[in-house]
Amino acid sequence: MKSLIKRSFSDFFFEYETPRQVLVKDRRIAVVCRIIQLGVLSYIIGWVFVYEKGYQTVDTAISSVFTKMKGVSFTNISGKERIWDVADYVFPEQGDSSFVVMTNYISTEGQKQGKCPELPDAKNKCTSDADCDEGKYKRTGNGQMTGKCDTNTSTCEIYSWCPVEDDSKVPNPPILWTAENYTLFIKNSITFREFNVVRSNLVESVNQSYINTCLYHSQTDPLCPIFRLGDIVERSGFNFSEIACKGGAIGVLIDWDCNLDLNIRHCKPKYEFYGLYGTGKNDKEEKPSLGYNFRYAKYYVEDKVEKRTLMKVYGVRIDIIVHGRAGKFDIIPTLTAIGSGVGIFGVATVVCDLLLLYLLPKKDFYKSMKFKHTEVQEENPTLPPSEKEREIQKE
């Protein structure tokens, strides 16, 4: 037993197996096959390694965004002059990655709880009390029906904040059309945890004096983190005057694609702008539910009665999305790519063998060269072993 183990061990460690190869000296097939093999090799080196960077391991970013709007608008509505600043037109105020800049609105002041007739539009008409179900509310309604039909307006009477908001006529041109000149400042911090790299979009070339004066331009100032709202809208494909009237949504993509095998200074963001829910550029078809709006109320107490001013806000909704990807050389993806490459080399060999054994004129000769046949061993003790072998090789 011990000697058997010892013998297997010595066989394993002291013998080396290498595949026996047949060397075919046929020029045509050799050239064709070398070309196939060189092609596979250049694909592996060229595409997988150099272009797609298959030798790198990839990490996605964890990021945080902080924004700040700046700018004022001056309006003169029915002789009433008014200035609008950041605290008036940005929702919410904290500077999140997703916010709305108000460009238009419908204001219904001094609403208080009570009963009043619905709006006189097609959806809520009635001719008698029977058309108005007490206690129910219509899907497009503003309140709960009392059961009475108001004869003046021919609409159902409802419990609601009265008077009911009339949003049939949207102001055109938009009230805050000068919002085009507002500026947006974006601060973005990204972390690639696997590589312990922290970056901010305020890269080396962006210092305080540059920030104070610059304005983003895709060619001349691609790293300036200050953006003019009108520029953002134009670059997304929307037309500012259209989007300012009924609102719209724009995505600002901060794209990081960093090769960490190079100096960290080459890890810089790229800004892209997308119109969401129906881009102005490409779409000709009528899209449902265009525009962007929401309602909010400012509550107050007047003469001991709770009142509110309801605002239907139309605006530019900005969603800042960060897409971060970094690659760095790592031994495992490199060896995996090499391993797969060797596998594909094997496919090249199979293809060449097929040519050799099935297409060439001398294929039978090559078959005999390539394959060593075995048969059931003949029971003929008289022939010496070498003779036996020679017989076998005749097949």
Interaction of residue 143 with a copy of itself, rule CB under 8 A: yes
11 three-state secondary structure: helix
- Using CB under 8 A as the binding rule, the residues of this chain from 348 to 387 that contact a copy of itself are 349, 352-353, 356, 362, 365-366, 369-377, 385-386
CA 347, 352, 358 angle in degrees (round to 5)? 120
Interaction of residue 16 with a copy of itself, rule CB under 8 A: yes
**Which of the stretches 140-148, 149-157, 169-177, 261-269 binds a copy of itself when contact is defined by CB under 8 A?**
140-148
Interaction of residue 30 with a copy of itself, rule CB under 8 A: yes
DSSP per-residue string spanning 328-339 = EE-HHHHHHHHH
Residue linked to tokens 């990655």: 97
- Using CB under 8 A as the binding rule, the residues of this chain from 177 to 206 that contact a copy of itself are 183, 185, 187, 189, 191, 193, 198, 200, 202, 206
Alpha-carbon distance of 57 to 262, in angstroms, equals 14
- Using CB under 8 A as the binding rule, the residues of this chain from 68 to 107 that contact a copy of itself are 68, 70-72, 74, 81-83, 85-88, 91-96, 98-100
Start-to-end Cα distance in the chain? 41
Residue 6 annotated in ligand binding: no
Residue linked to tokens 């002789």: 79
Question: What is the DSSP pairing of strand 305-329 with strand 56-60?
Answer: antiparallel
Residue 220 annotated in ligand binding: no
Binding residues for a copy of itself, rule CB under 8 A, total: 136
- Using CB under 8 A as the binding rule, the residues of this chain from 220 to 239 that contact a copy of itself are none
Interaction of residue 338 with a copy of itself, rule CB under 8 A: yes
Per the structure block, which two tokens stand in for 71? Answer: 């700018």
User: Looking at beta carbons only, is 381 or 385 nearer to a copy of itself?
Assistant: 385
* Minimum separation from the CB atom of position 5 to a copy of itself (A): 15
Question: What is the DSSP pairing of strand 183-192 with strand 226-228?
Answer: antiparallel
Residue 311 annotated in ligand binding: no
Residue 331 dihedral angles phi and psi, to the nearest 5°: -70, -35
Question: What is the DSSP pairing of strand 80-84 with strand 144-150?
Answer: unpaired
Interaction of residue 169 with a copy of itself, rule CB under 8 A: no
Among 1, 5, 130, 301, binds a copy of itself (CB under 8 A): 301
